Every structure is written in structure tokens, then in C-alpha cells.
A and B are shown apart, each in its own frame.
Chain A
Amino acid sequence: MPADKKTTTSNVTAADPLSADATEGFVLKVEPSLHTVHHLKNGKTRSAPYAVQVKALSGFRGEVGLAVQGAPPDSLALFNPQRGVPKPVFVSVLKIFVPSSTPAGVYDLKIIGASGSYVRTATTTLIVEGEPSPSTTPQKQSRLQVTVSTDKESYQAGEPVMISGYVTLGASLSVGNANVSLTILDPAGETIHIASVTTDEVGSYSENFTLSSNAMEGTYTVYSAASLPGYSQTVATVTFVVGQSQIPSVRIVDVSVTLLNDTLSSEFRPGETVVIWTAVNSTGADLLNGNTWIEVLDPKYSPVTVIVVVVTISAGAQERIGIHVILASDAAIGTYTIKVLVSDGPILAGGKFLDAKETSFVVLSEEDQTTTTTQIITTSEIATTGNSTTLVQTTTTETTVTETSSSETTTIETSTV
């Protein structure tokens, strides 16, 4: 049981030159700076949690996607959530699941945050100790994935549009030098822009183009197809609106997983309750009686539940939806996939999906006695100095790791004026 408790507090400071020099966009911070994992003799998977904090600068409100480089090749890396909009701060918990087969060594992790032309990195270290042994719960990150987003959800004719995204293997391992083909169709299906780009060393890409001054009003579609030798091509889409649109342009802007007490977690045991949250935006037109589908697939990619929530999302509004999934007492051990999709009606009635996002969580056996909880506490207070009044927001992130032999608590405290 817990033997000792260590608390460290630090202000937000960039851990990497890319972040340290930033005066606009956002900065990244990752805590702790070092995590050590000891292999167990029973061959079970261990996990190392990190709190990744994204802080906006100068009123930045773009969506930031997260990825990691340098993790052990047979490990599984999960961000929870994978992306988010700092208002002005959001915190994601990165958990590295280290199977017993991982060779001992020092792994330098580079955390990457990307949004449009802004790419920030922060570094931390994972140390794996002990003798490796055959893994009982092999992790796979072999599927190529791509994300795509635009810097805004709606534009006027003649405005510049920035398209950006990143390519990963599995959910979080960034892939540099991948080819990405971009195609943009106008509401009539005409191709208005095509481009071929390559991901940079941290796996991100971006492309700019300008809408013509007489651009057709309506919903535009961006297709992003990523390819890498040895992997199947993967395609992602996003829509944006020019002027007014008669059809909804829907974006799933957040998918996160928590415990019942609202604590971010991507690690569960059989019998526990998984709470899945999603936030959906609509622009263009109201999405009347839209269907939000949440599917959970087990490690064999077998669906264990599909939940449909009927919600009307007004244009310009955001709807937040939460569901509970209770894991069976004999739930399979391994990595589960959560798929969130939004449609304009049941597919069997001719409806179509308007957006889709994925995330993952891991179910470990009862014997693995490592638990990690992260609590995010935001407090606001008004400070008055002379004639000026300032709103001070403080976000505190507390990550607690409890193992059979020790307990460690890391606190990140930030102040935003």
C-alpha cells in the first residue's frame, strides 16, 4: 500500500525551445520530467502517466492535437483527451503502457502539440528498469491514422483557410515524412484546391489556400489521405462553412474518458464504470434530432455496446454528451476503442455520418495494482490593483500514482491573468 507521498509544484515554463520562444499560439508543459517503471515478475503491463498542459497565449482559441515521439516501440501511448481547445488551459493525461517485453533503458519522450502553423514540443523521460519478459498483454499501434482540421469553422469568400493535422501510428505515436494528399470540394462537389504535403519530423502538416472572392456559399469538405510505405492508406475529413449554409457542418471537438468522479483516466479494471464524454459543435444550420453514436469495441475489435443519443444541436452551439459504460466482470484485458460519430439520422433510414472521432482506453487485470488519477481544479478570483480589476484563473492538476509499494503525487499549478 502507499508508503510515501511526494508533491512538487512548478509554474508554467516551457520545457523546449519551441515552446520557450513562443509569444503567440500556445505553450506546452509536461509533468513529471521523469518517470521510472519497474518490470514486475508476473509479466503484467505497467503504466507511466504524464500530465500535459496546453496554455493559450494572446487569446489563442485553436484546437490543439497531441502526439508523442520516442516511446518504447512495443508500448501503447494514449492521450486523454487526444485534442482540445485551451480556454485558456486544458490538460491531457498521457499514459504510456509498458508491456513486460519492453527492454530496459532510458526513453526520451517528445510531446508534440500542433494547431495550424503552431507546433510546440515539450520533453520528458521514461526509464524502464528490470528484466524484460514475454508480454501477457501485447499492445499494437500498427494502424496509420490522420487528423485534419481548419483554423476556423466558418469563413467569408476571399478569406485564407489554413488546413492542418498530424499523422500517427495508433492513437498517439507521431509519424514524420508521411505523404498527405489534400482535396477540398465546394458544396457542388467541384474540386477547388488540391495539395500534396509531407509531415515534418514531429508528424504534423499544414496547407494554406485562399477562397476566391466569389466562392460559393455553403458547406465545403476537406479530405486528407495519409500514406506511408508498409501501411494502409487512411483518410479523414472535416467540413467548414463559407457564408451561409443550409446544411449542418458538424465537428466532434472533444472525446475524453473519465472515472465516475470526473477524473480523467484511460486505465480501468473489469467491473469498473467508464464515463465517455464528447462535445459536438454545429455551424451552418441546426442539426435537428441529430444522432450521436458511441461505440465501444473490445481488444478483438468486437463491439460491446453501441449507444445512440438523439440531440438537436443549434447552429453556433456546442452540445456535451456523457455516457456510462459498466465493464463486465469478465471483460477482456487489453486496449478498447471508442468511436464517436454524429449523423443526421439513422443510417437505415438514409441518414449519413457527418463526423467521426476515435479514442482508446485500456483494461488491465485486477492483479495490476497501479492506479492513476488526475484531478483538474480551476478556480477564479478577481484581483483589484488601484483602478484596474483583473480576473485570475488558477488551474491545478494533481496526478496521483498509487502502486503496491509507493504513492507519488504531482501537482501542476498555473495562473492565468
Chain B
Amino acid sequence: MNNWHNSQMPQNGSVIQVTSRLSVMLLLAVLLMSIVVERSNTSEQLTVTVFTDRQSYGPSELVTITGQVLDGSMQGVSLASVSIQANDPTGNPIHVALVISAADGGYSDQFTTPSGPVNGAYSVYVTATKPGYGTASGQITCTIIPEFPAAHLPWVMLLLALVLSLTAGRRKLESS
């Protein structure tokens, strides 16, 4: 049986640039990072940790995902299969990988953020499995901030000056 599917590669769109102008200041203040680790209750089950090397990234920057697969005694587990899925803020997968843990249970994966990313929090989900062990899952969230175009800086400064002058004018009227 054959199955057909179509996909259009995303192009750098101006919509993303507009979004970035409006929300870049807010995003700079709200950088999310959380680690969720499911731990086992028995010695046969795995534990998996997951980290990203930074809390936030810009466009076209390298993201390094690292972590460790541990047994019930918190010893590293080698040859565990670690499945990785990274989703954008809308829930669409942007990257997947299958890596195998090293002798100390450590694993890593890398990808480069898109040049025109969707603004917001990106989630990385991992599942660690090995025959004879229970499955473990983990999750981490990081933020990808679209590049703020330097060409737009004068407009933002002008807008800021306008807001400040209006505020000052209102205060002057209120005081008089």
C-alpha cells in the first residue's frame, strides 16, 4: 500500500517579524525552563533526565539536548534507546531523533533552530527504553525568540517616545 503526503517548506514570513516586534520585550522577561522527570518505583524501571544547554535561543542557533538514563540505584544505564521529539509552541513537531545512551547513561542530540521560528515556548519530550526495564519519560521547555530586525529599531524608539510624551502630557493635564 502506498501513502502520499504533501508538505510545503516554510518560508521566512513577514507575519513572524510583526509578531516579534510586538512581543519581544515580553518574551525577554519571561524565559521558561522546566524539567519534568518521571522516576520509577522499582529497580527495574528507568529514570531519564533531559536538559537544554540554554533557556532561550535565537534563530539559526544550535540547540544541544543532553541527559542521562539511570536505573533504580541511580546508576547510568548504557545502550538505552532515547526517543526525542521537539514541538513548537503550536504543538507541531519540528525535530525528532533516536539516540543510544553511552556507558555512563549519558546521551545528547543537536539541531539548529529554524531561521524563521514560531515565537514562544518549545517543548522537548524524551522516552527512554531498554529491554528488561520499564519505560521512563521526561520533558523540558525552552524559548525560541525570533530575531529582532535592527532595521525596525528606530520605529520602536519613536513609538516608545510617543508613549512617554503622551503619558507626560496626561500627567501635566491632571496636575493642572
A6 at the interface (CB under 8 A from B): no
How many angstroms between the C-alpha atoms of A319 and B95 in the bound complex? 23
Within 8 A of A (CB), among B1-16: 1-12
Residues A350 and B112 in contact in the complex (CB < 8 Å), given A188-B132, A237-B100: no
A417 at the interface (CB under 8 A from B): no
Within 8 A of B (CB), among A165-221: 183, 185-190, 219, 221
How many angstroms between the C-alpha atoms of A331 and B10 in the bound complex? 10
How many angstroms between the C-alpha atoms of A235 and B97 in the bound complex? 13
Closest CB in chain A relative to B92 CB, distance in Å:
8
Within 8 A of B (CB), among A197-254: 219, 221, 223, 225, 233, 235, 237
B20 at the interface (CB under 8 A from A): no
Residues from chain B with a CB closer than 8 A to the CB of A303 are 94-95, 111-112, 114
The answer, among B6, B81, B135, for a CB contact under 8 Å with A323, is B6
CB-based contact A343/B130 at 8 Å: no
Within 8 A of A (CB), among B130-147: 130-133, 135, 137, 139
B40 at the interface (CB under 8 A from A): no
Q: Which residue of B lies closest to A305 (CB)?
A: B7
How many angstroms between the C-alpha atoms of A347 and B6 in the bound complex? 22
Residues from chain B with a CB closer than 8 A to the CB of A293 are 93, 96
CB-based contact B111/A189 at 8 Å: no
Could you say which of B2, B7, B87, B137 has the most chain A C-beta atoms within 10 Å of its C-beta? B7
Q: Specify the main secondary structure of chain A where it touches its partner.
A: strand
The answer, among B9, B85, B129, for a CB contact under 8 Å with A328, is B9
B69 at the interface (CB under 8 A from A): no
CB-based contact A221/B137 at 8 Å: no
How many angstroms between the C-alpha atoms of A325 and B130 in the bound complex? 34
CB-based contact A347/B3 at 8 Å: no
Q: What string of 1s and 0s marks CB contacts (under 8 Å) between A89-125 and chain B?
A: 0000000000000000000000000000000000000
Within 8 A of B (CB), among A231-287: 233, 235, 237
A351 at the interface (CB under 8 A from B): yes
CB-based contact A190/B132 at 8 Å: yes
Q: What string of 1s and 0s marks CB contacts (under 8 Å) between A313-341 and chain B?
A: 00000011111111111110000000101
A302 at the interface (CB under 8 A from B): yes
Residues from chain A with a CB closer than 8 A to the CB of B163 are none
Residues A348 and B85 in contact in the complex (CB < 8 Å), given A189-B132, A190-B132, A320-B1: yes
Residues A341 and B98 in contact in the complex (CB < 8 Å), given A302-B111, A353-B81: yes
Residues A348 and B79 in contact in the complex (CB < 8 Å), given A303-B111, A304-B114, A305-B9: no
B70 at the interface (CB under 8 A from A): no
Other than the given A190-B132, A219-B131, 8 more pairs (CB < 8 A) read: A187-B131, A188-B131, A302-B115, A305-B7, A306-B92, A307-B7, A350-B135, A352-B83
Residues of A that sit less than 8 Å from B by CB? 183, 185-190, 219, 221, 223, 225, 233, 235, 237, 293, 295-298, 300-309, 311, 319-331, 339, 341, 343, 346-348, 350-353, 356
Closest 7 pairs (CB-CB, A-B)? A189-B132, A347-B85, A302-B112, A235-B100, A189-B131, A353-B98, A348-B125
Can you list 12 A-B contacts with CB-CB less than 8 angstroms, sorted by A residue number?
A187-B131, A293-B96, A301-B110, A301-B111, A304-B9, A307-B7, A321-B3, A326-B7, A328-B10, A330-B11, A350-B135, A353-B98
